[in-house]
Copies of this chain bind each other. A is one copy, B any other.
Amino acid sequence: MAKPRLTPLIESLPAMVPFVGPEALVRARGKPFRARIGANENVFGPSPRAIAAMAEAAAGNWMYADPESFELREALAQFHGVDRANIVVGEGIDGLLGLTVKLTIDPGDTVVTSNGTYPTFNFHVAAAGGRLVRVPYRDDRQDLGALLDAAIAEDARLLYVCNPDNPMGSFWQADKLQELIAALPDGLLLCLDEAYCDTATAMQPLAFDVGNSQVIRMRTFSKAYGLAGARIGYAVGEAGLIAQFEKVRNHYGINRVGQIGALAALGDQAYLADVVGRIDRARGMLGDIALRNGLQPLPSGANFVAMDCGHDGAYARRVLDGLLARDVFARMPGTAGLDRCIRVSCGTDADLDVFAAALPQAIADADAE
């Protein structure tokens, strides 16, 4: 039978799915979750101003969004103290990670990441035929020195650092990142995924230096801004590097309602500050629940807490399964060493009550097996 020809790379790839969504789990379970605290969404939601702007924008959805995202980029540029030419908007950070890989990686080119950090980045590297070098975590943190050493030793073109880290929640302060940046060899691009930076109240923020073409920083409206469904991420970098995205991005890929919502959310920093406070409080409550149940909460700058279950991956998986069976949607790291933990997103008080009730039972189940 006649058929199309796919590229050898595509033929060689497994059909990997980075993350199974909670909706698929609900369909398989046949019943809804009582607490949706597994995808690091912001249960407190976006600014009421953003909600109102999006609701009002619905009728105008017959129009394409501005493919240049001019107004949003202008507002972001002012907010960050950079120029519009330093910013490109994409379909979430996920989309921008794919484009960054496309700009830099040919089949066989080397990419360095930490073994167990955000897997969607790896997904894009695989789709580009890149050679992925994974550096182990050290004390549940990405090991900046070892990452740099590996990038130099392997002549990598791209180095991925997630700060704060997903799935562990750990983060590096600005001075450590500046040391890394100062040491980057010629020909290496550092992709700094800062999806969770807005909730990292204890983290000293790294200043923007858009004169440095070796660093590209990823930001999103999906986390602290509460607009995961809007798919609005952006990258900040040197203008010449940002201009390269014009060659490969889906110019009409950004949805109109999301773009309008993001602009309104950015304009409501008072609401953001309030939400970050609530996330910080929930983070503390999650830590307390963990401790009360004999789990060790890891320090987190993100809107989730990784909890060390104190045993191996099979044990943590049993705890997680016990939570899922009790209608709590949570997740866990998939990588050996990290997989002694479960990962629970910040929730409303009601969400945390459900979690607090389910956790001891899930642990009892895990212990009993």
User: Footprint of B on A, CB under 8 Å?
Assistant: 1-10, 13-19, 21, 23-24, 27, 36, 39, 41-46, 50-52, 54-68, 70, 91-92, 94-95, 98, 102-106, 109, 120, 123, 127, 157, 184-189, 213-214, 222, 226-231, 241, 243-244, 246-248, 250-258, 261
Contact = CB atoms under 8 A, between A and B. Distances in A.
Contacts of A214: 2-4
A170 to B, nearest CB: 23
Contacts of A120: 251-252
B213 A4 contact: yes
A92 B65 CA distance: 12
Contacts of A36: 63
Contacts of A230: 61, 255-257
Contacts of A228: 61-64, 256
A255 B229 contact: yes
B70 A27 contact: yes
B55 A92 contact: no
B6 A104 contact: yes
Contacts of A59: 45, 51, 55
A70 B23 contact: yes
A247 B98 contact: no
Contacts of A256: 228-230
A123 B36 CA distance: 40
Nearest to A56: B55
A16 B186 CA distance: 28
A189 B4 contact: yes
Contact of A62 (B18, B91, B229): B229
Chain B CB count within 10 A is highest, among A6, A9, A68, A105, for A6
Given A62-B42, A63-B41, A68-B21, A106 B7 contact: yes
20 contacts: A2-B187, A3-B186, A3-B187, A4-B214, A15-B244, A18-B251, A46-B61, A50-B61, A51-B61, A55-B56, A57-B229, A61-B258, A62-B228, A63-B228, A63-B229, A92-B250, A120-B252, A123-B251, A228-B256, A255-B255
Contacts of A189: 4-5
Nearest to A3: B213
A122 to B, nearest CB: 13
A367 B34 CA distance: 70
Q: Which 7 A/B pairs are nearest by Cβ-Cβ distance?
A: A229-B256, A4-B189, A54-B58, A23-B66, A61-B229, A2-B186, A55-B55
B17 A61 contact: no
A9 B257 CA distance: 34
Given A4-B189, A24-B66, A66-B21, A251 B104 contact: no
B15 A246 contact: yes
A52 B59 CA distance: 8
Nearest to A40: B64
